[in-house]
Chain A
Amino acid sequence: MRRVIATKAARQAVNRLRAARGPLMFVQSAGCCGGSAPMCLPAGEYLTGPGDLLLGTIAGCPCYMDARQYRAWHPGQLVIDLEPGAPEGFSLAAGEGLHFVTRTRVVTGPRAMKRGSSS
């Protein structure tokens, strides 16, 4: 199972945004205010380090998350989607009046524990 995927609407938004702004990256945020949102940034804007996990790519864009945060979240699968409203923090909007969101497909039972401890 891929750790991160995107809905069709999100992939289309990424393609439109990339055409307008150039290559992009996603970083899953945490903490205060809009902390659960995926931050969409120009590619390379966020300096990743050894503590960051490359979850995968969506529409050709790398998606990162802090590895400790990933262990705490032990998500089954993250799904990047699109919703109306302004983005949080320094994230780019997903288009006029739109922002990216992260949804979770929860995996329960022993598999979830295994995934949580194996990352």
Chain B
Amino acid sequence: MRYAQPGQPGSVVHLSARYENFIDGKWVSPAKGHYMVNLAPATAKPICEVAKSTPEDVETALDAAHHAKDEWGRTSPAERARVLNEIADAIDSHREMLAVAESWENGKPVRETLAADIPLAADHFRYFAAAVRAQETKITEIDENTIAYHFHEPLGVVGQIIPFNFPILMAAWKIAPALAAGNCTVIKPASATPWSILKLAEVIGHIVPPGVLNIVTGPGGEIGKALAANPRIAKVAFTGETVTGRLIMQYAAQNIIPVTLELGGKSPNIFFSDVMAADDAFLDKAVEGLVLYAFNKGEVCTCPSRALVQEDIYEAFMERALARIAKIKIGDPLDTQTMMGPQNSAQQLAKISSYVDIGLAEGATLLAGGHRANVGGEFADGYFFEPTVLRGHNKMRVFQEEIFGPVLAVTTFKDEAEALEIANDTLYGLGGGVWTRDGSRAFRVGRGIQAGRVWVNCYHQYPAGAAFGGYKVSGIGRETHQMMLEHYSQTKNLLVSYDQHPLGFF
């Protein structure tokens, strides 16, 4: 099935020519009246215009959030859970519309947004609705007359900056815990993907009280600091590259507020010989596990972009994997048969291409792809890139840098010790994968990889309830787990004495 493009007859997405900021429950024009064009990566043609905001618009959003925070912060967990569940229901009932909008804006295939991004976003709100209802606080009996009570209190107003690779799901990851914990939020979507989250706001905006959820679009260089360095935010959350991550920590230091950061990875995916001990469904799953580097055309922080294959199965395993990669269907992201759509932007496409050149110059061997993909027709100008495999060694730059595209760097290892040594020879520590039929080794190697999330005999699953976040330069804090409620709450301790007598010091 092929969905009509937004703006064309028969599309499930209603498209306006221009979108405003979402502030205080209303659509608000940017103060300076400037707009920017939002491109569809499949055609390189405009989708619509969105607000090109300035710091004044961030202040307007913060005004609204501060006006709303006391009342929202006092709502009962039951009421906040009701709102989150209603948001989840609204996302579910607009699943196709949101899936098509996100696919068209980001370039990711609609089969992924229909089956993963949008259902997971809805589930995320349900998870935090449940988590906040079930959240209990602790009471400590210090002695027979002294009791320590602990309460969760909202931080107030938080700033959240969303990346372009999952414009709706990454927003859900951040919005759901913030609102569940009783905070109001001001969100800056990625400059490259500001529109689909505004379509989300059309669907859920009326469910939350005005000012609780605010979205301001615009270039990071113009409004990013206005939000992240603003003394009126109580916490900042960011997903993106390392320099902006450090800037955000720096601003947070100046305001003495907490940060959570997710800054990417170069995740190893380790295949031990025993995956080929039988020609069965598990081997098929492992082969797919390698090919998952092409999921969301490689624009995933946890992309399994380094495959480590035990040397005695290398030839046989890669033969199967390359055959599977050759079957990847590239094309119209709105066709449910398409497995890989375009990269998100011309900038990303140029970067990916330059990394392939760097890899080849450093002596890597090209096993598949390596070029811009020519899809032709109305997609001739789209930012498509072939699924690519480079064979080399871990000191090469293509093994060390996050390419954020469908480029797999593959190498071999002799034994478990060498596998771990290669896996951990990286600045990053976000994700990793281990494939083996040996249960003990699965645990041992899984624990040995220095990363916040290691998939064992699976990859690229993101269920709410499994903590996600980085070691090393990959970041600080965790997402997709009820511990996020702690990241978005103050702890209030009431230390209560029943004793009628003075201490006797004075």
Contact = CB atoms under 8 A, between A and B. Distances in A.
Contacts, number: 151
Given A72-B427, A84-B346, A85-B345, A33 B221 contact: no
Given A83-B350, A88-B347, A104-B358, A32 B262 contact: yes
B221 A32 contact: no
B345 A74 contact: no
Contacts of B165: 32-33
Contact of A31 (B192, B220, B402): B402
Contacts of A29: 241-244
B401 A73 contact: yes
Contacts of B78: none
Contacts of B191: 86
Contacts of A7: none
B489 interface: no
Interface of A: 27-37, 39, 41, 45-47, 66, 68-69, 72-75, 83-93, 99, 101, 103-104, 106, 108, 112, 116
Interface of B: 36, 163-165, 190-192, 219-221, 224-225, 228, 239-247, 250, 262-265, 299, 301, 345-348, 350-351, 354-355, 358, 361-363, 395, 397, 400-404, 426-428, 473-474
27 contacts: A29-B243, A30-B473, A31-B245, A31-B428, A32-B165, A32-B262, A33-B241, A35-B402, A36-B355, A69-B242, A75-B397, A83-B347, A85-B345, A85-B347, A86-B219, A87-B219, A88-B220, A89-B240, A89-B243, A89-B247, A90-B225, A91-B221, A101-B350, A103-B354, A104-B354, A104-B358, A106-B358
A31 B473 contact: yes
A104 B51 CA distance: 35
Given A85-B346, A89-B240, A89-B244, A33 B164 contact: yes
Nearest to B362: A106
Nearest to A41: B247
B242 A35 contact: yes
Residue among A31, A39, A84, A106 with most chain B CB within 10 A = A31
Contacts of A46: 243, 246-247, 250
A17 B240 CA distance: 24
Nearest to A92: B221
B400 A72 contact: yes
Residue among A69, A85, A101 with most chain B CB within 10 A = A85
Nearest to A113: B395
A7 B147 CA distance: 68
Closest 9 CB pairs of A and B: A32-B264, A31-B264, A89-B244, A29-B243, A106-B361, A35-B241, A90-B224, A72-B400, A29-B241
B220 A33 contact: no
Contacts of A116: 395
Contacts of B428: 31
A91 B351 contact: no
Given A30-B241, A31-B240, A36-B351, 8 more contacts: A31-B263, A32-B262, A32-B264, A88-B347, A89-B243, A90-B220, A101-B350, A108-B362
A60 to B, nearest CB: 20
Contact of B242 (A66, A83, A92, A106): A66
A90 B188 CA distance: 12
A39 B240 CA distance: 13
A99 B347 contact: yes
Contacts of A86: 36, 191-192, 219, 345, 347
